[in-house]
Structure formats: structure tokens, C-alpha cells
Structure 1
Amino acid sequence: MDLGLEGKIALVAAASRGLGRAVALQLAKEGASVAICARNEGPLKATAESIREATGVEVLAVPADVSVPEDVDRLVKTVLDRFGRIDVLVTNAGGPPPGRFLDLTPDDWEAAVRLTLMSAVRLCYGAVPAMREQGGGSIVAITSISVKQPLPNLLLSNSIRLAVIGLVKTLADELAPDGIRVNAVCPGWTRTERVVQLLKDRAARNGTTPEEEAAKITAAIPLGRMAEPEELARAVAFLASPAASYITGVSLLVDGGMYRGAM
């Protein structure tokens, strides 16, 4: 199926590894030129080069911390200076740290808001005027299954990612007249570096092993396994593409059936 992304310009945040990297690679495979950012320049450049080698498309790597307003402004300006447009924006950030309420401080909350919510807000402030001027675009926010079903020991993620969904639903309504679609993808347990660390944290807290914690999780997933990053990336690419031209305001679960609710 041709998604219609050939020649499009996509900006993917936090893309040196994990879900962001998988999304950038998938968009490049579909023919889009991609701009990627991350805090650490070395891994970022390595990812950009690997995507170029795998796909032959143009890849722009911009070192930037999405929790820093000046970095986000510079990132968007660099992309627009290079490509002249942004057709696809994928908001993404490394998840906030685990912890229960009494383990966390107000400073932890404020840092998590900057990282998880305000990064998406500022990226949208940067990209939306360009999308409006060019006649349309697509925004996809990467969130988590926790917006539907809170996960143990992930209070910050459970709480703040819900605010991102509020942003997505509201912008979908406000920006539809401008031809800008806004959706979210909500991954369940996916084999990334972050999940490996979360399993270690759970094991340390429960006196078990990471393998035992992983087995508990997969036992609750109807498909019987965690997702691979590429499976999430294909869902993002679809929602970002013209193939999803009548879909906006949707929060798409990619969780192997883990969420049991009807809505």
C-alpha cells in the first residue's frame, strides 16, 4: 500500500533510539525526507547515517533537547530553513522517571511536564503556522497505553500523557479547517531501551528478575508478546500519511489487545 509520503518532509522528535528512531526509519522507507533530533549528538548522527544508508533519503540531524524552549525554536527554524516546509510532525520524548506519589517531588512533576507535555506544545507552536501557510499537514503524538489504563509505578507518565491527549483532541478540532490532522498513537509494552530499564526497576522493587517481570506483562497481553518498535512505527506512518486523510482526533492503541475497555 502506497501511503503517499514520497517527497514529504517529516520532523520526528527524540529519534536517536527507541520508538522515535523506528518512526523516523519507517517514514524514510515510505519516501519522506526526515529531520530528527535528540540531546546527544553522537547517537543522533549515527542514527541519521544509518537511516540514510538504509533508505537513500535526506536526513537532517539537529541536536536539541525538546524540554528546552530555545532548543525547540532552533530545531523548527533549522528544519524550515533546510526544507521550507513541515508536512509531518511526530511529537515524542523520553518518558518521565518511574515512581509512586510519595517517591516523587514537585520538582519531578515540573520536569516531567516540561519533557512530556510542553515539548509537544512547543513543537506544535513551531510547526502549525508553517502547516497552515502551506495548506495542511499531519501531527502525530506518541503517548502510551497509560492514557487508557494507568500502569503501576508510572504516576508521572499516567498523569501527564493524559494532558497530551487533551492537546491532541483540542487541536484536531481547532486545526481541521486548516487541513491539519492531529492524532495520537498509544503504544503498549514495546521492546525498547526504556522498557528494559523499567523491567529492571520493577524487578529490583519486587525482588524478582527482569525476565519474570516481562513474563507477568506478556501474560496479560492477548497476543502473548511485547511489540517491536517497527510495529508501532508502521501505525504512526499510516496516521501521518495521506492514506489516513479522514482520520483526526484519534488515539490509536498499539498494545496487542492489552487494554480491555470497550472505548
Structure 2
Amino acid sequence: MKSAETQHPKFGPGDEALAALPTVYRDDLFAGKVVLVSGAGSGIGKAIAFLFARLGATLAICGRKADKLEDCAEKLRALSGREVLTYPMTIREPEQVDAMLSAVWERFGGVDVLVNNAGGQFAAHAMDFSVKGWNAVIDTNLNGSWYMMQGAAKRWVEQGRPGNIVNITAAIDRGLTGMAHTTASRAGVIALSRTLAI
């Protein structure tokens, strides 16, 4: 049986496991690169940040909970020996996104990879969504992802440098019971990604 630090029964690998999971990638694959991961205080975002740290990246992580971000950052610093910038904020507020991106650009001079991982949802019957609940999910998952993408892209254009965006969404092709708000918002992000790619 695995320890709680190694394996969480509900949420997957713990911090020790994230630091040691086998990978097919070269250790220095992202050396000299700056990677910004949203929603990195826990879950998938945290796992993504751990992998990029192991691959040599300098990290900036943002999310809503300062304590979770700093806990993650401490472990990333110990793992990589590199600076990790934390920035508590919500992606659903364009002013907060702009301030966070400005702070990252000021500290590191830019970003090479933006991982749009932050998002949120709650399970409910479609007929039971309140306007506030619907808008909260759409604002976070769709609008927040857009604010991050556009903000980073504008800075890349101003600097005359390339950049990369990875959008984490959900497998929505067959629908998700109790998640109409999520499927609507994530479909928007998928279509947006495909459109911007061309």
C-alpha cells in the first residue's frame, strides 16, 4: 500500500511521486525556458508544474489560493533549485490577469509556454443552474482562458518573439452528465484554440 504522500486515493500521485514519476523526456528539455501554469496550486496544474520543473523550466504559477501556490512553489524550488514566482489571482478578472502577466514579464522578461489549466465547475442538473453559477463557470473556463491567451499573445507580438499556449480542457465529445456549463465553456476553448492555430 502506498503512503498518503505518495498516492492520494482520490486525486492521484502525491508530491513525492510527482517528483519521481518516470518520464520519456530529456531532463533539460525546457532549460532556459519560462513556463507559466495557471491553477497550479493543486491537481493537474500542480502535476504539470512538477514535470516542467523536472525538465529544467523556470516557473511562474498562479491560482486563487496563495497558501497552496506557495506550498507548491517550495516543493518546486527544492526539486529544481530554480526560482518559482507565485501570483495569487483569479483568471476570470481581466485586470488581475493583466497585472499577473506584467509581473511575470517584469521578473523573467517573458514567457515561452503558457499552460492554461485553471478552471472550475460543479455538478448540477442543467435545469438547476442559477445565472450566477452558469456565469461563474463560463467566466472562468472560457473567458479566463481567453484573457490569458490574449494577454500573453499581445506581449509576444510587442516583443517580436514566439510563444506557445497549451489549453487543458475536458473530454466533451459525448457530453458530461451534470456538466452542461463545463461542456459549453470547454467547447468554446477547443474551438478558439483550433481557430487561433490557423
TM-score by length of 2: 0.82
Deviations 1:109-151 (A, max 9, x none): 21111110011110012111222324211100000112x2211
Name the structure 2 match of 1:25. Answer: 50
Q: Unpaired segments of 5 or more residues in structure 2?
A: 1-24
Q: How does 1:28-43 map to 2 (within 5 A)?
A: 28-43=53-68
4+ residue segments displaced more than 6 Å: none
Shift of 1:45: 0.6
Is contact 2:138-2:182 (8 Å) kept?
no
Name the structure 1 match of 2:151. Answer: 126
SS of 1:93's partner is coil
Name the structure 2 match of 1:142. Answer: 168
Shift of 1:165: 0.5
Is contact 1:33-1:58 (8 Å) kept?
yes
Measure, in 1, the Cα distance between the counterparts of 2:161 and 2:104.
18
SS of 1:78's partner is helix
Asked if residue 113 in structure 1 is aligned to residue 138 in structure 2, the reply is yes
Asked if residue 70 in structure 1 is aligned to residue 74 in structure 2, the reply is no
Measure, in 2, the Cα distance between the counterparts of 1:62 and 1:135.
24
Q: Which amino acid aligns with 1:154?
A: M
SS of 2:164's partner is strand
Measure, in 2, the Cα distance between the counterparts of 1:49 and 1:170.
37
Measure, in 2, the Cα distance between the counterparts of 1:166 and 1:27.
26
Q: Which amino acid aligns with 2:87?
A: V
Q: Which amino acid aligns with 2:161?
A: G
Asked if residue 49 in structure 1 is aligned to residue 48 in structure 2, the reply is no
Name the structure 1 match of 2:14. Answer: none
Is contact 1:14-1:92 (8 Å) kept?
yes
Name the structure 1 match of 2:115. Answer: 90
Q: Which amino acid aligns with 1:103?
A: D
TM-score by length of 1: 0.63
Q: Unpaired segments of 5 or more residues in structure 1?
A: 174-263
Shift of 1:171: 1.1
SS of 1:89's partner is strand
Measure, in 1, the Cα distance between the counterparts of 2:49 and 2:154.
22
Report the count of equivalent residues.
172
Identity of aligned residues (%): 35
Is contact 1:96-1:156 (8 Å) kept?
yes
SS of 2:82's partner is coil
Q: Which amino acid aligns with 1:106?
A: V
Name the structure 2 match of 1:166. Answer: 191
Deviates more, 1:10-19 or 1:131-140: 131-140
Name the structure 2 match of 1:197. Answer: none
Measure, in 2, the Cα distance between the counterparts of 1:24 and 1:43.
13
